Amino acid sequence: MGISGLTATLQPYGVSGVFTDQHVVIDGPALAYTILSICRSNGISQPSYDLLGRSVIQWLDTLALQVEQIDAIYFDAYLPIGKRDVRMDRSAKLFIQLMQFCNNSPKGCDIKNLCGTAEDNLDLFTTKQPSTHKQLVPPSFLVPAIIDALDQCPRYRHLVSLVPGEADAFCAQHLATHGGIVLTSDSDLLVHDLGQGRVVFFRDIHASATDTWKCIVYDSKRICERLGLKPSGGNICRFGYEVYRDPHASISQLVQNCSSPIPDEAEYNKFCQQYLQHELANLPVTAQGETVQLRNLDPRISELVLQLGNPTEEIPAALSSESRIFLPVLIENPLRGSAWEPCTPIRQLAYSIYRWLVPGSNSTVHEYRRVQNVGHKGREVSMFPQKEAIELLQSLLQTLQRTKDLVDGVDGISCWTLLCMALNIKECQEQEKQSHVLQILTQSSENAKPTSKPASNPKIPWDTIHITAHLQASLYSFRILKQILSLVPYGAWIHLPAEARELHEALKPLPGFTDFPSVKRTEELLQQKLALEILDLLRNFVDIPVRKAKDKKARMKRKKENKGNGPPTKRFAAPKVGAGGSIFSLLADEE
């Protein structure tokens, strides 16, 4: 995850080079953020997942013409326990960034910050730097969307590896064994033992579509020689440690420190340990003794799968019992309730099914949604008892089939969007809370003027952004459920309830990231005519009162009369749940 100041300190020791005749290994997460940076350098602050996918393939195609061979692209599938505080800190910074952005744009988000323009004219080799002024957080599903794009491309599918550790560690091991160059943004790779391998940072690549790519190459062994770091006096790991201790020290002072006695042996050994012995997670084993494979999982899901797997001697029981999932930071209104909350039961069902597949004593998962500081405790989500889980499976299958039947022949809405809305409203009603989805749909159906197109508006209301986040959170929760079911080996289905396999088949058409609802698409859903149609469809699942025109006039009259006379009364009372009962059980509010 990088040593602050190391790259800048060693920058004078990088040498100019080219990629010709080189074998290359790629740090996958760094590649994903490089593609995002390229999009933002082109003025596209929030690129679509389709654009991100097309761009990474085009970038790799051009790289492939420059090098001898691309050997591998590694993605993290497990976060070492020692790095949890770093993850918490990064998650907190992202959420604070979202809050600051929202505070700076209280009347809505400029459409240019949410939707790209002229996306087909992207310059992958621009030398412009992306603006960091009032930047929105990265796309919520950036890394898994890049993995999906690579997996769908026959040229690169076989190169992608989701590894049970950190990607940089596997890149380092690959170079130590085979040599070559690693492309990364992580300065940690300068401290690993790379054998004859060398490091190139994405930011130091000077590329074009036709000319030979030039770069700055870092060779740790030669850097040690130039710095005069002899085996007896220190090495690159010791140098990295000294930079870690004092990022602002001069080169001469750092070299001198390397030849001095180590001031804190315990701290130094802990620092070196992460580069000498990489923490890996064992692949889980099912109740039938089959090893669970990580292929095609999202990194955040694979992290949880490995944590919920079989216990290991290397990980203390007290820590292994704290299974965590860091849910992506959604682009939502942080002043409203988390969009992850109403769809919690979908994920709860996924965790329960995984526990059927892989036995273990841990029956809870800590979800981290809106991390505000390193000490954040997350939300504890308990797994369902098997009887209740089966009932939920049956109910979900019936609801999914019902939505398919209802939207058949209806233009403008998919069964998945309707399903997400129905479950969202149902869960909120069961918790006696106001559903943001229902609130905005109702307002749109009552207040909007009937038009064939939504009114042009340079700002997207935060209510529209927030309902989009609700839909995306629900779809990603279904993705977690789908991926957990994909782990079941063929021979293990007979040991699970029949409904689990039925749901596995039913979830196969689940939309990918490129088809996740965007704010533009949500705006279309909120047109008066379509909003009315959606409300009529939703009445098949939940109790939604029919509002008459004269009722609206009376409410407006009361609103004028009561203006300035204290807080308004609650507009949407929680309706009674229909006879069909709850689709999902309840959880408490977000911490």
H helix or E strand, kind and range, residue 534? helix 528-538
**Best mean pLDDT range from 56-65, 231-240, 409-418:** 56-65
**pLDDT, average across residues 157-184:** 95
Average of pLDDT values for 28-50? 94
- Distance (Å, whole) CA 90 – CA 333: 19
Residue whose structure tokens are 């953020």? 33
- Minimum mean pLDDT range among 222-236, 443-457, 513-527: 443-457
Mean pLDDT, rounded, for 199-220: 93
How much is the pLDDT for 117? Answer: 61
- Give the phi and the psi of residue 74 in degrees, each rounded to 5: -100, 135
179 residue type, one letter: G
User: What is the pLDDT, as a whole number, of residue 134?
Assistant: 72
Residue 292 Cα to chain centre, angstroms: 22
Confidence label for 585 from pLDDT (cuts 50, 70 and 90): very low
Mean pLDDT for the chain overall: 87
Query: Does 159 or 309 have the greater pLDDT score?
Result: 159
Q: Is the pLDDT of residue 148 over 50?
A: yes
For the stretch 309-326, pLDDT in tens is 865 545 545 445 579 999
Lowest mean pLDDT among 178-182, 293-297, 436-440, 539-543: 293-297
Given the structure tokens 């130094």, which residue do they identify? 268
List of domains in the chain: 6-219 (3.40.50.1010), 299-561 (no CATH)
How far, rounded to the nearest angstrom, does the alpha carbon of residue 443 sit from its chain's CA centroid?
31
CB 423 within 8 A of CB 399: yes
Structure tokens at 366: 């800590």
Query: Averaged over 136-153, what is the pLDDT?
Result: 97
Higher pLDDT among residues 23 and 585, named by residue: 23
CA dist., res. 55 & res. 207, Å (int): 15
Residue from 140, 145, 136 nearest 462 by CA: 136
pLDDT at residue 218, rounded to an integer: 96
Q: Give me the pLDDT at residue 409, please.
A: 75
User: Are β-strands 15-18 and 214-217 bridged in parallel, bridged antiparallel, or unpaired?
Assistant: antiparallel
| Residue for token pair 């709850």 | 582
DSSP state of 13: G
Mean pLDDT for 270-295 is 88
- Separation in Å, CA 487 to CA 17, 133, 241, 346, 484: 43, 42, 41, 17, 5
Cα torsion 562, 564, 569, 570: sign: positive
Strands (E), 254-361: 324-326
Cβ atoms of residues 384 and 349 within 8 Å: yes
Q: Tens digits of per-residue pLDDT, 522-575? A: 999 999 889 999 999 999 999 988 765 545 554 554 445 444 444 333 322 333
Among 240-244, 453-457, 475-479, 514-518, the range scoring the smallest mean pLDDT is 453-457
12 CB-contact burial (10 Å; exposed 0-12 / middle 13-18 / buried 19+): exposed
Q: What is the pLDDT of residue 170?
A: 95
Task: Answer whether residue 188 shows pLDDT above 80.
Answer: yes
Decide if 135 contacts 36 (C-beta within 8 A): no
Token pair recorded at residue 59: 């970038």
pLDDT score, position 116: 64
Tokens 């654009």 — which residue?
51
Average pLDDT of 165-175? 94
- Runs of H (alpha helix) within 321-359: 344-357
Residue 427 has pLDDT above 60, yes or no: yes
Closest CA relative to residue 302, chosen from 144, 496, 151: 144
